[in-house]
């Protein structure tokens, strides 16, 4: 591609002339040791995209935005991508809202053609405000990475304060109620036609119930047993279930086993051919492999199960369109420990006394034998039961 009058073509087909390939771009880092081998803008883009090659939807979305910018910069502006300024991006934002000339940039009839089809175009119509904002978020991420990699001297998008914040959202290690709901909907939609699918579904459902309602660490799921559940009566004579957890630093704590938690435990145990409730001192692990084995799953195996669920839920979210990409990326980065933070945050949001949340999560040592604390334990159980719900 050596003539700026040519129609845009996919990035894998582009051949840029020396004055547009970015090898001498004005924003190229000079005097710094580069962390990537790229010597021109195309190579730098490919180096960035290579990080996402295993996640097709993310890769496609990120390639789309990098490709659009590169084509606009070289074909429309006549500048290398590595020479773009803050002012250029202000112009590009307006271009995204209405790509012109339309016959050059927009596919006929808004149809999506294969990338090797001569009718392919980088746009299918004007971008909505949300899609335009999403494009700038992704590009900010790319430019920040190219700066960190020593390829660019600076990120022109960082001058836009609100975009800089949106492009690299702070990882709070917490799922807000909407993302938590997305995760539950995904789990509830998991297939269960075959015996193995059914076993996997109920195991995942139980695991996420345990991590959320119990606020357990993944190591605590791996190392504790079902025999640690027990039932005792409160001052009013009501039976309340508890889970005695041996946790971090060999500290013990009592976790309220709410009605929802016990229903899910009974459901899971029936699915694996066991009585609904465990017997005292039962050695059955809290989570089992699929099949006849009664050996505890390792922490790594539990982590793998959780990550695959997060990845699946993220992929489902991405399928709704560009506006959901950043939220999906956040969900994909989540881990089991995020559910612990999520549980604590949601309990606090429901105005459960923070001292009770502290004890539920075991942030401090807990005396399990003092009768003076027994009333506090009962109140903690009651408030957790009433306010901390999973609502499958």
> What secondary structure letter does DSSP report for 241?
E
What is the end-to-end Cα distance of the chain in Å, rounded?
55
List beta partners, residue 230.
Answer: 242
Tens of pLDDT, residue by residue over 320-372, are 888 888 889 889 989 998 898 888 887 777 777 666 776 777 765 333 223 22
pTM for the full predicted model? 0.54
Q: Cα dihedral sign for 108, 111, 112, 113?
A: negative
- For the chain, where do the domains classified as CATH 1.10.443.10 start and end? 177-387
Architecture of the structural domain at 177-387: Orthogonal Bundle (1.10)
Q: Which helix H or strand E contains 342, and what residues bound it? A: helix 336-349
Most confident of 2-16, 103-117, 254-268: 254-268
Answer yes or no: is pLDDT of 203 > 90.
Answer: yes
Query: What six digits make up the tokens of 124?
Result: 């299918």
Q: What is the mean pLDDT of residues 228-232?
A: 95
For 279-293, give the DSSP string.
PTT---BSS--SSS-
* Average pLDDT score over residue span 374-379: 54
Task: Please give the C-alpha separations between residue 4 and each of 21, 278, 318, in angstroms, as whole numbers.
Answer: 13, 73, 33
Secondary structure letter of residue 192 according to DSSP: -
pLDDT at position 30: 85
Task: Judge whether 16 and 74 are in contact, CB under 8 Å.
Answer: yes
* Contact yes or no for 152/27 (Cβ under 8 A): yes
pLDDT in tens, 32-85: 888 999 999 999 999 999 988 887 888 888 999 999 999 999 999 999 999 999
């Amino acid at each position: 591609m050596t003539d700026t009058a040519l129609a845009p073509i996919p990035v894998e087909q582009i051949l840029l002339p020396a004055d547009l390939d970015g090898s001498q771009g004005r924003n190229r880092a000079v005097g710094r040791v580069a962390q990537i081998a790229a010597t021109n803008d195309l190579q730098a883009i490919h180096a960035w995209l290579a990080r996402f090659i295993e996640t097709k939807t993310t890769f496609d979305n990120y390639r789309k935005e990098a490709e659009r910018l590169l084509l606009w910069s070289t074909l429309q502006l006549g500048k290398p991508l590595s020479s773009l300024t803050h002012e250029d991006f202000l112009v590009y934002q307006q271009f995204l809202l209405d790509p012109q000339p339309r016959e050059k940039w927009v596919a006929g009839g808004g149809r999506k053609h294969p990338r090797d089809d001569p009718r392919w175009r980088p746009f299918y119509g004007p971008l909505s405000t949300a899609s335009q904002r999403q494009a700038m978020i992704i590009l900010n991420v790319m430019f920040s990475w190219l700066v960190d990699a020593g390829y660019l001297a600076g990120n022109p998008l960082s001058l836009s304060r609100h975009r800089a914040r949106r492009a690299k959202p702070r990882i709070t290690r917490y799922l807000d109620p909407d993302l938590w709901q997305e995760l539950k909907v995904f789990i509830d939609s998991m297939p269960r036609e075959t015996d193995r699918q059914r076993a996997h579904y109920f195991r995942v459902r139980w695991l996420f119930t345990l991590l959320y309602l119990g606020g357990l660490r993944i190591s605590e799921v791996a190392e504790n047993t079902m025999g640690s559940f027990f039932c005792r009566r409160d001052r009013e004579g009501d039976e309340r279930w508890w889970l005695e957890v041996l946790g971090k630093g060999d500290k013990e704590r009592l976790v309220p086993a709410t009605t929802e938690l016990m229903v899910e435990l009974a459901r899971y145990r029936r699915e694996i051919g066991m009585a609904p409730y465990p017997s005292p001192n039962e050695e059955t692990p809290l989570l089992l492999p699929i099949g006849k084995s009664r050996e505890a799953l390792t922490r790594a195996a539990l982590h793998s199960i959780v990550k695959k669920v997060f990845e699946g839920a993220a992929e489902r979210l991405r399928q709704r369109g560009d506006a959901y990409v950043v939220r999906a990326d956040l969900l994909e980065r989540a881990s089991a420990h995020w559910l612990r933070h999520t549980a604590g945050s949601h309990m606090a949001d429901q105005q459960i006394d923070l001292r009770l949340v502290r004890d539920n999560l075991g942030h401090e040592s807990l005396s399990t034998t003092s009768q003076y604390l027994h009333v506090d334990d009962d109140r903690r159980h009651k408030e957790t039961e009433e306010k901390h719900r999973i609502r499958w």
